[in-house]
Amino acid sequence: MKLRQIAKKLALTVKAGETNLDAEVTGGYAGDLLSCAMAGAHKGNLWVTLQGHLNIVAIASLIELAGIIVTENKPIAQDTLAKAAEEGIPILATPLTTFEIVGRLWEMGVRT
Amino acid sequence: MIADCGFRISDFGNSQFEIRNPQFEILADLHVHTVLSPCAEVEMIPPFIVRRARELGLGLIAITDHNAAANCEAVMRAAEGSGLAVLPGMEVQTSEEVHVVCLFDTLEQALTWQGIVFNHLPDLPNPEETFGAQFVVDANGEYIRTETRLLITSTDLTLNDVVQRVRQLGGMAIPAHIDRPMASLLVNLGFVPPGLDVPALELFRLTRPAEAIAQWPELARWPLIRASDAHQLSEMTPALRLHIKEPTLAELALAFAHKDGRSFALVERQ
């Protein structure tokens, strides 16, 4: 499934990286400890977190994630968005909780 | 025994780094809690902290309660005439749940910072039975009041906000126990953020720098200090040896950078 379809179906707001929404999503990872995301997320995954720190972009870039969903409308730092735009990493925002977003992704067939 | 923590004065060995001012060697513990921290033992009152510090040969401590600075003055007063210097400070929790030690030269700066932090903390009551009580005490350790506000939680200030605002006040921010499995820079944020503008990083009191560098090679580029994060008297430790002219933040910054003849070294635990 492509990120663009997921964004549309879950009504996610695209905050950065809109040029890379046609990436194929291979699965997902949820969590807010970046050290765990680095160890547990895989290439092509969609990462669901409420962290908006700049380091999320570096991790997404390093692992070649399909994108990041920031939940609960948590603030995303300006430098995070700027770097994501530069790196072409899609960052999508939602008012929903991580629990709810992950449940819906799973229902849609995005599974690890 | 002194741990290997990078350059020492003797490593330079030329007049470029000659000591212009009289220096003294001082043992420091820059991260000590009091009974204002709900997780601290009731023994963490000013006279006991000062006495323990002197027993350990400490010449400098910093008082760093969770998101609060109300007991700094009491410890500073308790230390008057003892030969122990006390820096007022705080251990603030950022929006990323990273703990950062904030140090100041003056009580006024610390209390100004306290006002800012309280404006960025959720106004919730502290559930004493769960987290423990938060006591404000005087220099003798006598009870003054209970802080009823929840201190063990995150501010909505980001790590960068904290670093910048503390500096604007003339203070110094040092990420705390960066290698601990929770509430730490390396675990919560994965690695040291590029461009992080702090003078040093604090390792947990039991960590040897070589161990930390083996796990996170990027740490080799940083001044790595160590402090106790003491929540009870037996945890206080003279973990840091400083060669400075006086116990001020300006001197600490020089020591962390090994500049102008100032320096620091870690003291290995026995």
Q: Do residues B1 and B30 make contact, with C-beta atoms less than 8 angstroms apart? A: no
If you search the block for the tokens 């994108």, which residue do you land on? A67
Do residues B121 and B196 make contact, with C-beta atoms less than 8 angstroms apart?
no
Q: Give me the interface pTM, i.e. the ipTM.
A: 0.84
Residue B191 has its nearest CB partner, among A32, A51, A55, at A55
CB B223 within 8 A of CB B202: no
Task: Check CB contact under 8 Å for A53 and B189.
Answer: yes
* Residue that has been written with the tokens 């709810």 in this structure: A100
pLDDT for residue B269 is more than 80: no
Give how far B215 is from chain A: nearest CA, Å: 12
Check pLDDT > 50 for residue A68: yes
- Regarding predicted confidence, which is higher, B7 or B187? B187
| Position B122, amino acid | P
Mean pLDDT of the region B189-207? 95
A33: which chain B residues are within 8 Å (Cβ-Cβ)? 187-188, 190
| Residue partners of A77: CB distance under 8 A and separation at least 6 | A52, A53, A54, B158, B160
Strand stretches in B147-227, DSSP E: 172-175, 201-203, 224-226
* Position A93 confidence tier, pLDDT thresholds 50, 70, 90: very high
Backbone angles phi, psi at A79, to 5 degrees: -65, -25
SS3 B231: coil
Q: Could you read off the pLDDT of B100-119 as tens digits, one per residue? A: 999 999 999 999 999 999 99
Q: In terms of CA atoms, which chain A residue is nearest residue B186? A: A35
pLDDT at B2: 37
Q: Please list, in sequence order, all residues whose beta carbon lies within 8 angstroms of the beta carbon of residue B224, skipping any fewer than 6 positions away.
A: B5, B6, B200, B201, B202, B203, B209, B212, B213, B266
Contact A110, A27 (CB under 8 A): yes
Q: Is B170 touching A (CB cutoff 8 A)?
A: no
Stated as kind and residue range, the H or E segment containing A4 is helix A3-9
Q: What global pTM score does this model have?
A: 0.89
Chain A: nearest CA to B190, how far in angstroms? 4
By three-state DSSP, how is residue B20 classified?
coil
Per CB-CB distance under 8 Å, the chain A contacts of B157 are none
Closest chain B residue to the Cα of A37, Cα to Cα: B190
Interface residue of B155, B162, B191, B216 to substitute, partner A, most A CBs within 10 Å: B191
| C-alpha pair distances (Å), B143 with each of B36, B158, B206 | 11, 33, 32
Mean pLDDT of chain B: 91
The per-residue pLDDT for B206 is 87
Say which of A33, A59, A77 has its CB closest to residue B188. Answer: A33
Quick one: which H or E segment has residue B52?
Answer: helix B46-55
Would the CA dihedral through B153, B155, B161, B164 be positive or negative? negative
